[in-house]
Amino acid sequence: MADSNGAKEHLNEEYIVRTKDLTKHFQMGDEVVQALKGVSVDVFRGEYISLMGPSGSGKSTLFNMIGGLDKPTEGTVFIDEVDMAQLDAYELAWLRCRKIGYIFQTFNLIPVMTALENVTLPMVFAGMTSDEQMERGRLLMDTVGLGHRLNNKPGELSGGQQQRVAIARSLANSPSIILADEPTGNLDLKTGKEIIELLRRLNQESGVTVISATHDLKMVDVSDRIIWIRDGLIDRVQTRSELGDQITEMEH
Amino acid sequence: MADESKHDEQAAAQTEQAKEALLIGLTAEQRAALLQGDRVDALSEAEIRARLAGNDSGDTLEHEDLVAGMAHELTAQSQVIDLLSEQREPEGLNIAKVLDSATIDLRALMSMRISDRTVDCIGPLADEARRSRIRDEISLPTSKAIEMSVKSVRVRLGRVVITASSIFLGIAFFASVRTTALCLRAAGEATEAGEGARLTWLIIMALLVSVVGICNAMLMAVTERFREIGTMKCLGALDHFIVKLFLIESGVLGLLAGVTGSLSGVVVMYLVNSLRYTFHLTDVIAGFGGILVQGILLGSILSVLAAILPASQAAKMPAAAALRSTV
Ligand SMILES: Nc1ncnc2c1ncn2[C@@H]1O[C@H](COP(=O)(O)OP(=O)(O)OP(=O)(O)O)[C@@H](O)[C@H]1O
Ligand SMILES: [Mg+2]
């Protein structure tokens, strides 16, 4: 596995995500929390990136900035070399709908909708006809191995199955980036492994860029680069080849 | 014949994609230099290729690789599309089968467009036309919104009954006061001077109270669903989709409460009054119809009004904040 994951040939050395000197402050009463203190990261198209770091280090905050879910206090996020701050509400929605797929620790499926309806919701917003929605929805549910649970509500599915529905949903409009915030955080070891395996396959076979915040060391195995975050700053960035021995060290 | 035109379409789409692929690898500056004021869609693929070949400045630009990569992707893609269309048999699509026989897999699935809308980057190429196209590419059709709202009301029935009860009571009160007045008039009973005005005030007060009630209930219902709202925003919902969904939901509630409230007000007060006074049903039946219509309209309109504030406040929330909420 190490070989196939190793030095990945980028189709072209093109940045799909860039952040420049990102800072984010939260006002908590009188106190100001500095969640990010100047983070610059460059992500190539097709990379698998893990954001790692202790709890409270700012991973989710960075995730929100990159995903256009929150605005930075200072600094810029570029997606496909477009400054996100320049986008109006429609363009931002368009970006979230078609360009980025989000996966969360808590799955965040809509509880009153069936699995298939959850998967097709982004396609509704994208204006697909309902025939197309059904066809693609089924295809995606098959891809994540849940073709037989189309009409179950999230409450009737296991955590791992819910996360797979969420992954299918994130792929609804063929995004170029998948953003995942601790996708395995609420899953047991084995199910977590399956989810990581699925993300890895998507990344390798469809070339989608994956950026995942995680505590999960299993993730290290499949990542092209690991960005370590500490205290709102980038601690260090490691590529797979630099990691080699360290993983085994960490695991023991 | 039909086959041929399909082929042409496919070829045109592939040329489009090849053009896009040629441009994808470029930085903003390179694109600008390459295009020199021309619009992309006015250039042919061959022209772009020629210009790329002449453009020596881009040393980071490995367009040979790019073209090769894209060619591979294109064949993969058309293979899958072919396979998918062959597979449209009674037993339906089986992705596993498709993927096996194609020896290419998710890559093609992901680049396959079921819709023929072109989905390219907003990118530095965004012009006014592109911007207005983006506006058309994000939508929530009203029919779909109604379907979603009705489903949401159906699934949350227990919760909904509580939310709707205040408007139900208000409308029932309105209907019973009006019904009693109608019955008295039909029976030839005189009402005191000023009685009508006093009752009108009572009705207005009752309706105000129920508006405040449903506003409060909506506020709670919306708060409970912050996370759902945040999720929808991640999936591409605009603020006004959220407002639309909640207003329709509230309207459906108001309609239900209006129908049941005015019906029960009219029926109960008709029975009560027919025991005390003598009058003919034929004299009042038309009036009852009017009261029902008024009650239903009032119920739906008031509950939509009451939802505007909570819904628009919730929709305005940044997605990250909505997702963080743990209510
Ligand atoms: N909306 C907010 N309001 C106030 N403080 C916040 C907010 N969001 C994050 N913070 C603070 O910013 C810091 C970084 O939080 P963040 O959620 O990004 O950490 P994290 O690395 O994702 O942690 P974990 O691994 O536990 O998820 C924390 O100190 C947190 O308390
Ligand atoms: Mg976090």
Confidence of residue B20 (pLDDT cuts 50, 70, 90): low
pLDDT in tens, A162-186: 999 999 999 999 999 999 999 999 9
Name A70's Cβ contacts closer than 8 Å, sequence gap at least 6. A24, A61, A64, B318, B319, B320, B321
Structural domain harbouring A20? 13-106+175-251
For residues A119 and A121, what is the distance between their CA atoms, to the nearest angstrom?
6
Q: Which of A246, A249, A250, A244 is nearest to A6 (CA)?
A: A244
pLDDT in tens, A180-220: 999 999 998 888 998 998 899 999 988 899 999 998 888 88
Residue B258 clears pLDDT 70, i.e. is over it: yes
Q: Within 13 Å and on the Cβ side, how many CA atoms surround B294?
A: 20
For ligand 1, atom 28, name the residue with the nearest CA: A56
Name B77's Cβ contacts closer than 8 Å, sequence gap at least 6. B108, B111, B112
- For residue B51, the model assigns a pLDDT of 67
Confidence of residue A123 (pLDDT cuts 50, 70, 90): very high
Residue B122 clears pLDDT 70, i.e. is over it: no
Domain annotation covers residue A162: no
Closest residue, chain A, to B234 (C-alpha) = A96
Task: Say what the alpha-carbon torsion angle B99, A165, A96, B239 is, to the nearest 10 degrees.
Answer: 140
Lowest mean pLDDT across A149-163, B137-151, B180-194, B291-305: B180-194
- Any idea what the CATH number is for the domain that residue A213 is in? 3.40.50.300
**Ligand 1 atom closest to A57 (CA):** 21
Lowest mean pLDDT across A40-49, A123-132, A166-175, B183-192: B183-192
Asked whether the beta carbons of A145 and B108 are under 8 A apart, the reply is no
Quickly list DSSP for B99-147: HHHHS--HHHHHH--SS-------TTT--HHHHHHHHHTS---HHHHHH
Residue B318 and residue A70: Cβ atoms within 8 Å? yes
Residue to substitute from A8, A112, A123, interface B, most B β-carbons within 10 A: A112
Average pLDDT, chain A: 89
Domain annotation covers residue A225: yes
Confidence of residue A21 (pLDDT cuts 50, 70, 90): very high
Domain annotation covers residue A50: yes
Per the listing, tokens 């896009």 go with B20
For ligand 1, atom 30, name the residue with the nearest CA: A56
For ligand 1, atom 3, name the residue with the nearest CA: A26
List the 140-169 stretch of A: residues with Cβ below 8 A of B.
142-143, 169
Domain annotation covers residue A100: yes
Domain annotation covers residue A245: yes
Pairing label, strands A177-181, A74-79: unpaired
Domain annotation covers residue A142: no
Q: Which of B129, B234, B321 is nearest to A93 (CA)?
A: B234
Encoding tokens for residue A232? 């709102």
List the 179-198 stretch of A: residues with Cβ below 8 A of B.
none
Quickly list DSSP for B256-289: HHHHHHHHHHHHHHHHHHHHHS---HHHHHHHHH
Length of chain A: 252
**Quick check: CB of A122 below 6 Å from ligand 1?**
no
Residues of chain A in contact with residue B20, where contact means CB-CB under 8 angstroms, are none
**Ligand 1 atom closest to A229 (CA):** 21
- For residue B9, the model assigns a pLDDT of 72
pLDDT in tens, B150-204: 998 888 888 888 888 989 999 999 999 999 999 988 888 877 767 888 888 989 9
**Quick check: CB of A55 below 6 Å from ligand 1?**
yes
pTM value is 0.75
Using DSSP, state whether B209 is helix, strand or coil: helix
Per the listing, tokens 């339906």 go with B92
Backbone angles phi, psi at A229, to 5 degrees: -115, 135
Q: Which of A143-147, B14-18, B34-38, B102-106 has the highest mean pLDDT?
A: A143-147
Per the listing, tokens 């965004």 go with B126
Residues of chain A in contact with residue B66, where contact means CB-CB under 8 angstroms, are 11-12
| Torsion sign (Cα): B243, B248, B253, B258 | positive
ipTM metric = 0.89
Chain A closest-CA separation from residue B238 CA (Å): 6
Asked whether the beta carbons of A205 and B107 are under 8 A apart, the reply is yes
Using DSSP, state whether A214 is helix, strand or coil: strand
Residue A80 and residue B105: Cβ atoms within 8 Å? no
For residues B135 and A125, what is the distance between their CA atoms, to the nearest angstrom?
11
**Quick check: CB of A28 below 6 Å from ligand 1?**
yes
- For residue A173, the model assigns a pLDDT of 94
pLDDT in tens, B58-108: 333 344 444 444 444 444 444 544 444 444 333 333 333 333 433 334 444
Q: Where are the alpha helices (DSSP H) in A129-172?
A: 130-143, 159-170
Asked whether the beta carbons of B325 and B232 are under 8 A apart, the reply is no
Residue A66 clears pLDDT 80, i.e. is over it: yes
Element (DSSP H or E) covering residue A22: strand A15-28
Q: Report the pLDDT averaged over residues B109-130.
A: 46
DSSP state for residue A49 in the 8-state scheme: E
Domain annotation covers residue A31: yes
Name B200's Cβ contacts closer than 8 Å, sequence gap at least 6. none
Residue A96 and residue B113: Cβ atoms within 8 Å? no
Query: What does each C-alpha distance from A74 to A44, A60, B62, B171, B291 come to in angstroms?
Result: 23, 17, 34, 52, 59
**Quick check: CB of A35 below 6 Å from ligand 1?**
yes
Encoding tokens for residue B103? 């020896």
Lowest mean pLDDT across A140-154, B206-220, B249-263: B206-220
Lowest mean pLDDT across A6-20, A75-89, B75-89, B111-125: B111-125
Give the number of domains in chain A.
1
Domain annotation covers residue A190: yes
Ion ligand 2 neighbours (CB, 5 A) are A 60
Q: Within 13 Å and on the Cβ side, how many CA atoms surround B230?
A: 27
